[in-house]
């Protein structure tokens, strides 16, 4: 099935067809390494990780590039404040980022370039832009002249005149037009600098992505991604720089993800309503977080709340419990009993993912699939060997693409069951002891005593289930 992608500038889905058959170059804006990442960053990383995994699954030879901004005002500010170098700051937070990505099972892109390691490419590009009169030097800094680039605003659906009319940016004497943006900045005392034809300075933010994406993927990218907040001005500026330099279409498909919100406000540093990946994954299983972040369409906002996380946790447990049932079923059926269900699921899952990476719909299909499997097993617990094979294969596809359901069900369920048991203030042994006491009471038909034990445990978040194989317990 062919893939459809919603392309930001034209605001509709298009059939995906890369520039070179079978090969895809994808560039995604990474982080500015000056602080710990929050779940807004996690969403973007997980979405593009999933897109990359799916493209590979579909057989594309993908080159995935994601940059690190390691020279920037905020990094420098942080370094100066702490009396350390900008490298100390960026290196620390790049390390922290890697730890986060490992926790979240985000696969490494093929190339992770750092801005500081590509200054010569940026200087070359800036020189070319000056040469073509798209840029001008002013007091040692270099600015891009937006009025010289006729397509300016095509990505974000803005007109240059409208933007000038409603401009809020401070008037800068050095600029010809308030919307002109810096390609090269003169370095002030205490700021890092590189030698250039214009001054001892440092690159503007936008030029790094144009220079590095071209360096690794060529002047035309198949896919360029990032958060919605990057559409303007960052990605708009990238187009101006790259198309100005090379005179070729910069990007074939622009993909932008929606924000993580809290009470419907964008999660951000300035609002102070952010939660870091690190603190969150201490209490929330990474697969729960992944499932939550993938359970809404990538372009929509997703509101973070404890309730929403709890719902995703419940859904993940439901999936794993159903899988556990299948893997514990006797392999004695002479004919496959789940094969049709699995085949149907595989097709629907692929169709959903092919339709603009609709993970929300794909997860809906996992729910339906789970219901169908449970229904089949309720009528008769037997399965055939082929069923188990087919399920393992389907499961491996899902986990390879979405990064959930990667664990053995029994292992996952056991983990969830015991996580933070100490917070409740009870041990495994104590619960088992209470279950034994309750069993005795039940055998003596003293249901009042038995129910009291169960109610007390329930009040502490422990649920007892009486099954044909005996009583088992779970966390609420």
Pick out residues in 85-114 that bind RNA (CB under 7 A): none
Distance CA(81)–CA(29), nearest Å, equals: 26
CA-wise closest residue to 126 among 186, 198, 60: 198
Q: Which of residues 288-347 bind RNA (CB under 7 A)?
A: 295-297, 300-303, 308, 311, 314-315, 318, 321
> How near is the Cβ of 21 to RNA at its closest, in Å?
27
Please report, as residue ranges, which positions from 195 to 224 form the binding site for RNA (by CB under 7 A): 205
Does an H or E element contain 115, and which? none
Closest CB 427 distance from RNA, rounded Å:
21
Say if CB 86 and CB 70 are below 8 A apart.
yes
Nearer to RNA, 390 or 453 (CB): 453
Structure tokens at 283: 């209490």
Helices assigned H by DSSP within 62-134: 73-82, 86-103, 119-131
Among 100, 191, 222, 356, binds RNA (CB under 7 A): 356
Choice between 19 and 421, CB closer to RNA? 421
Query: What span, in angstroms and rounded, lies between the C-alpha atoms of 76 and 122?
Result: 19
Contacting RNA within 384-423 (CB under 7 A): none
- Give the shortest CB-345-to-RNA separation in angstroms: 12
Measured distance CA(382)–CA(376) in Å, rounded: 9
Distance of CA 213 to the CA centre of its chain: 20
Q: How far apart are CA 456 and CA 446, in angstroms?
A: 16
Nearest approach in angstroms of CB 5 to RNA is 11
Rounded least distance, CB 163 to RNA, Å:
6
Using DSSP, state whether 350 is helix, strand or coil.
helix
Q: Where are the alpha helices (DSSP H) in 226-285?
A: 236-246, 277-283
Q: Does 361 bind RNA (CB under 7 A)?
A: yes
Whether the link from the prior residue into 422 is cis, omega within 30° of 0, is no
Q: Which helix (H) or strand (E) holds 471?
A: strand 470-475
d(Cα 23, Cα 184) in Å, to the nearest integer? Answer: 33
Q: Figure out which of the listed residues 138, 268, 399, 407 binds RNA, where binding follows CB under 7 A.
A: 268
| Residues 420-459, interacting with RNA (CB under 7 A) | 442, 447, 450-451, 454
- Please list every residue from 18 through 57 that binds RNA, using CB under 7 A: 29-32, 40-41, 43-44
CB of residue 396 to RNA, shortest distance in Å: 22
Per CB under 7 A, contacts with RNA among 236-265 are: 257-261, 264-265
Considering only residues 266, 285, 290, 337, which one is a binding residue for RNA as defined by CB under 7 A? 266
CB of 291 to RNA, least distance (A): 11
Please, which residue, 224 or 252, has the CB nearer to RNA?
Answer: 224
C-alpha 151/C-alpha 287 separation (Å) is 42
Strand partners, 221: 251
Binding of RNA by 466 (CB under 7 A): yes
Side-chain half-sphere CA neighbours of 63 within 13 A: 14
Query: Least separation, in Å, of the C-beta of 351 and RNA?
Result: 11
Distances 165 to 168, 177, 180, 290 between C-alpha atoms, Å: 9, 12, 14, 42
Identity of the residue, 10 or 331, whose beta carbon is nearer to RNA in the bound complex: 10
Please, which of residues 157-186 interact with RNA by CB under 7 A? 157-159, 162-163, 165-169
Cβ closer to RNA: 32 or 63? 32
Q: What CA–CA distance (Å, rounded) separates 176 from 164?
A: 12
Contact window for RNA (CB under 7 A) among 97-105, 134-142, 415-423, 462-470: 462-470
Nearest CB to RNA, comparing residues 20 and 375: 375
Interface with RNA (CB under 7 A), residue total 86
């Amino acid at each position: 099935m062919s893939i459809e992608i919603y392309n930001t500038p034209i605001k509709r889905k298009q059939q995906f067809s890369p520039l070179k058959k079978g090969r895809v170059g994808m560039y995604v804006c990474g982080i500015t390494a000056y602080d710990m990442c929050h779940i807004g960053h996690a969403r973007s990383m997980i979405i593009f990780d999933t897109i990359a995994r799916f493209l590979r699954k579909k057989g594309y030879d993908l080159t995935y590039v994601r940059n690190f901004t390691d020279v920037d005002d905020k990094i420098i500010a942080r370094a100066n404040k702490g009396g350390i170098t900008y490298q100390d700051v960026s290196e620390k937070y790049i390390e922290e980022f890697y730890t986060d990505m490992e926790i979240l099972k985000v696969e490494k892109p093929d190339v992770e370039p750092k801005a500081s390691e590509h200054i010569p490419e940026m200087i070359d590009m800036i020189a070319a832009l000056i040469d073509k009169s798209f840029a001008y030097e002013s007091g040692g800094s270099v600015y891009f002249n937006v009025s010289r680039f006729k397509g300016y605003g095509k990505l974000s659906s803005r007109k240059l005149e409208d933007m000038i009319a409603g401009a809020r940016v401070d008037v800068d004497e050095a600029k010809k037009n308030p919307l002109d943006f810096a390609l090269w900045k003169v370095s002030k005392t205490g700021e890092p600098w590189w030698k250039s034809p214009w001054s001892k300075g440092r690159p503007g933010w936008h030029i790094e992505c144009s220079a590095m994406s071209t360096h690794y993927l060529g002047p035309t990218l198949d896919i360029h991604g990032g958060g919605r907040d990057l559409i303007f001005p960052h990605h708009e500026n990238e187009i101006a720089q790259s198309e100005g330099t090379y005179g070729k279409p910069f990007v074939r498909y622009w993909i932008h993800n929606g924000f993580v919100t809290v009470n419907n406000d964008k999660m951000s540093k300035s609002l102070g309503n952010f939660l870091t990946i690190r603190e969150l994954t201490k209490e929330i299983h990474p697969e729960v977080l992944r499932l939550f972040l993938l359970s809404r369409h990538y372009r929509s906002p997703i509101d973070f709340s404890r309730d929403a996380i709890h719902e995703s946790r419940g859904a993940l447990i439901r999936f794993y419990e159903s899988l556990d049932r299948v893997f514990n079923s006797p392999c004695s059926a002479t004919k496959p009993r789940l094969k049709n269900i699995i085949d149907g699921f595989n097709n629907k899952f692929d169709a959903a993912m092919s339709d603009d990476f609709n993970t929300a719909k794909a997860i809906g299909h996992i729910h339906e699939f789970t219901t169908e499997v449970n229904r089949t097993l309720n009528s008769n617990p037997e399965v055939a060997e082929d069923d188990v094979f087919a399920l393992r294969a389907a499961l491996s596809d899902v986990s390879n693409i979405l990064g959930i359901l990667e664990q053995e069900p029994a292992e996952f369920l056991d983990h969830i069951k015991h996580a933070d048991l100490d917070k409740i203030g009870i041990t495994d042994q104590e619960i088992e002891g209470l279950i034994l006491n309750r069993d005795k009471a039940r055998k003596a038909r003293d249901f009042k005593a038995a129910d009291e034990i169960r109610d007390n445990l329930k009040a502490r978040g422990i649920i007892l289930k009486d099954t044909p194989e005996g009583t088992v317990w779970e966390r609420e």
